[in-house]
Structure 1
Amino acid sequence: MTRFELLQLLVGQARTNGFEFRRWYVGKLGLPWQSARQAVEMLAAERRYYALLFSHEFASRFWKAGETMTFQVPTQSFTRRMKDGSIGTVKRKGYTRRSAREDAWLYHLKEMAAAEEPLRYMRRYLRVEDDLEEESAVLVNETEE
């Protein structure tokens, strides 16, 4: 999948959730509007897609409020005073957590900022035909075995 195709899908998903792409493009980038295709091409060609990905307007529409999200809580280690008064080290294993929050998009913005490739992070949250075909091929192989 090309960068242009990926950006088209991302914008499309955000638009279905109420993101006004044209208004954002003209207002935030200050560029004249010609067409949606031209706008996405401009974002892809000049690497301006970072402005889109990290836009609060876009993120808050791409990840709907109240949508269930799954995230990994890392292993933690810290010291604290124990019941007997001594100082001890507490170690907690990492675990998976699910949550439905109004500000889920803020969590995703933080994770995307920490990711090496923000577009690859975003790709995980898209359901495209390629994924569905791969899943069905895996299911067919599992049933044959």
Structure 2
Amino acid sequence: MAGSWASGSRGGKRGRRGLAAEINVTPLVDVMLVLLIVFMITAPLLTTGVEVSLPKASADNLQAPKSQPLSVSLKTNGEIFIQDTQVAPDELVSTLLAIAGEGYEERIYLRADEGVNYGGVMDLMTRMQRAGFRNIALVTDPKANQ
């Protein structure tokens, strides 16, 4: 009898069921949960600013210029100095042009007190650049880098 059952003597139907029209939801749920976790982790990184702690790096000193370099200093209280001479903020550009002349290509060293806010330094640099001074170097304390 076992042989007749295996040969399909039951009319060829052999306990066959109709096609199941159901969707297997388990793989879909697994994929959706993985995507949800990925988006939960990456979304906050994309929408909020990243807190940055800028690195402290020591760089090799530049070669000393042959002549006395031109330096502009900005103090915490807003006083501006060219070399050792105090200059009013609105007279900075005209004084630099009188000292260096137009087309001055040498490096100008900008020294700002660490208490000066970033906006004050950028304002000073912007005024110098608009006047045609493009070679500006920021000076740091070499002892702080060690």
Shorter-chain TM band: under 0.3
TM-score (norm 2): 0.20
TM-score (norm 1): 0.20
| Richer in helix (by share) | 1
Q: Which has the larger radius of gyration?
A: 2
